[in-house]
Amino acid sequence: MNQNKKNKKKSKKSIEKSEFGFYGAKALFDPYFIPDQLIARKKEQKYLLNLLDDSIEDRFSANVALYGLRGVGKTVLVNKTIQRLVNNVKQPEIENESELNLIPFFVDCEGKEFDQVIFSIINGLAKRLDYDINPDMILSSNTASLWNLFKMLVNKLNASLMIFIDSVEYINPKLINKLHDFAKSESIILIHTFNAATSSPFLSDFKKPDFKISMDIYNYNSLFKIGKDRCRMAIRNRVDDSMIKYVVDLVGKFDKKVPGPMIRVLSDLYPVLEDYDPSMSNQIREVCRYQFQGFAIDELSLADYIADSDILDRIFVDNITSYFKTTDEFYIDYEELKNNYVIACESIEQKMSEKNFHSTLKNLEQISLLLPSEIGLPEKEKVNSIGSNFMLQNNIHLNTLKSPRYITVPTDLLNDMMDIAFGAY
């Protein structure tokens, strides 16, 4: 390894951490927003950064593929890494962008044909090289002509070219393989992402990448940290941690544990959060109610459950409703739940039974009315969080049983249902 390369390796470790900034709505609404920090992806970022840095230094082609669910953070990982690379290799005295040591291009393939992908790259290269092209001529060109123009522009570059193709599963594998072969011959860095859940049935037809990065889903605690970080960057008023935890719990329960759907919910909540205060908890529940498929509880089924339950369970649910309505809290802890159950028992002069209490909690969990939070629990305990009755009988993972719980129905709606239920008596 030469001295220059050693210095570059050292410079990567000594990059000063920039101050965390405020970006406003962009941090939630811009799909290509690059955050100040990547949370729980240090290992993947370090691997990708070292790989690309070596490729640039040694002028060899690297074909890198990232696989993962939509919304898991593939695009932001690559863009954040490229941002660091560009900042590292860009020379302060250079004014002409065509003279940069690294020239990256990003193309989102979703909904595009290969010709459109190549056109985007050609257009960018022409601007970098200050090369005059006729847009009408390009638009009317066939694939072969576009390909020849692309190769000609690449040969004019005096820098490392990096092409980042997002959602490559939308493009014909034969054409991507052709790009792969050309990248090999010209020492071009080619990065592409696959959305695991929507990948092309021809996935096996794509050439095997030189390097592969698989991105798993997050755990609840990491997802909470990401949500908190996004709120800090997007919203001037401080947002309570309990509200962010509530959104993360819903995402983990009714969607995938990835940042995409969480950021989508936060963006829909943005108008509310801009003027946030703790009394808005019910308004936030109302907005979240329609965010996930399978989350909106069947009101008839819920009404049937309440109608079929005995008087003790009705009073207990009514007590819980009153608690959330009067406190504006997102969660109720185990001891408070137990206390409300004791009060319900006393109101009808019935002896409190731990077994019946836990059975009621399980029933409320099964209809997705009152759910245990997964945030803050060790992962090994979450794996076995499959119902309070199971845990009680097996005497294991009692921390999950005693987790704070949240309601999934706005208190006004639940209160109306309880009024109807008590009217039947």
Task: Verify that 195 and 225 share a domain, yes or no.
Answer: no
Judged against a pLDDT cut of 60, whether residue 199 lies above it is answered with no
Q: Is residue 17 part of a domain?
A: no
Task: Verify that 353 and 204 share a domain, yes or no.
Answer: no
Read off the pLDDT of residues 38-63 as tens digits, 9 standing for 90 and up. Answer: 999 999 999 999 999 999 888 889 99
Q: What is the pTM of this model?
A: 0.85
Task: Verify that 257 and 396 share a domain, yes or no.
Answer: no
Q: Is residue 370 part of a domain?
A: yes
For residue 235, give its domain range. 220-288
Q: Is residue 18 part of a domain?
A: no
Task: Verify that 316 and 194 share a domain, yes or no.
Answer: no
Task: Verify that 54 and 82 share a domain, yes or no.
Answer: yes
| Per-residue pLDDT, 141 | 85
Domain end marker among 242, 266, 288:
288
Read off the pLDDT of residues 11-28 as tens digits, 9 standing for 90 and up. Answer: 443 333 345 799 999 999
Confidence of residue 284 (pLDDT cuts 50, 70, 90): very high
Q: What is the CATH number of the domain that holds 341?
A: 1.10.10.10
Tell me what percent of the residues of the chain surpass a pLDDT of 70. 83
Q: Is residue 7 part of a domain?
A: no
Q: Is residue 1 part of a domain?
A: no
Domain end marker among 166, 181, 214:
214
Task: Verify that 342 and 304 share a domain, yes or no.
Answer: yes
Task: Verify that 249 and 180 share a domain, yes or no.
Answer: no
Judged against a pLDDT cut of 50, whether residue 382 lies above it is answered with no
Task: Verify that 142 and 282 share a domain, yes or no.
Answer: no
Read off the pLDDT of residues 146-178 as tens digits, 9 standing for 90 and up. Answer: 999 999 999 998 888 999 999 998 888 888 899
Task: Verify that 106 and 186 share a domain, yes or no.
Answer: yes
CB 225 within 8 A of CB 347: no
Give the chain as a 3 state SS string: CCHHHHHHHHHHHCCCCCCCCCCCCHHHHCCCCCCCCCCCCHHHHHHHHHHHHHHHHHCCCCEEEEEECCCCCHHHHHHHHHHHHHHHHCCCCCCCHHHCCEEEEEEECCCCCHHHHHHHHHHHHHHHHCCCCCHHHHHCCCHHHHHHHHHHHHHHCCCEEEEEEECHHHCCHHHHHHHHHHHHHCCCEEEEEEEHHHCCCCHHHCCCCCEEEECCCCCHHHHHHHHHHHHHHHCCCCCCHHHHHHHHHHHHHHCCCCHHHHHHHHHHHHHHHCCCCHHHHHHHHHHHCCCCCCCCCCHHHHHHHHHHCCHHHHHHHHHHHHHHHHHCCCCECHHHHHHHHHHHHHHCCCCCCHHHHHHHHHHHHHCCCEEECCCCCCHHHHHCCCCHHHHHHHCCCHHHHCCCEEECCCHHHHHHHHHHHHHCC
Task: Verify that 51 and 194 share a domain, yes or no.
Answer: yes
Q: What is the mean predicted confidence (pLDDT) over 67-73? A: 94
Task: Verify that 75 and 144 share a domain, yes or no.
Answer: yes
Judged against a pLDDT cut of 90, whether residue 86 lies above it is answered with no
Instruction: Name every residue whose Cβ is closer than 8 Å to that of residue 322 and which is 6 or more positions away in sequence.
Output: none
Q: What is the mean predicted confidence (pLDDT) over 323-333? A: 95
| 203-217, 220-234, 238-252: the lowest-pLDDT one | 203-217
User: What residues pair up with 371 in beta bridges, in sequence order?
Assistant: 406
Domain end marker among 161, 179, 214:
214
Q: What is the CATH number of the domain that holds 116?
A: 3.40.50.300
Rounded CA-CA distance 262/255 in Å is 9
Q: Is residue 240 part of a domain?
A: yes
Q: What is the mean predicted confidence (pLDDT) over 368-392? A: 62
Domain count, the chain: 3
Q: Is residue 29 part of a domain?
A: no
Q: Is residue 155 part of a domain?
A: yes
Confidence of residue 384 (pLDDT cuts 50, 70, 90): very low
Task: Verify that 317 and 255 share a domain, yes or no.
Answer: no
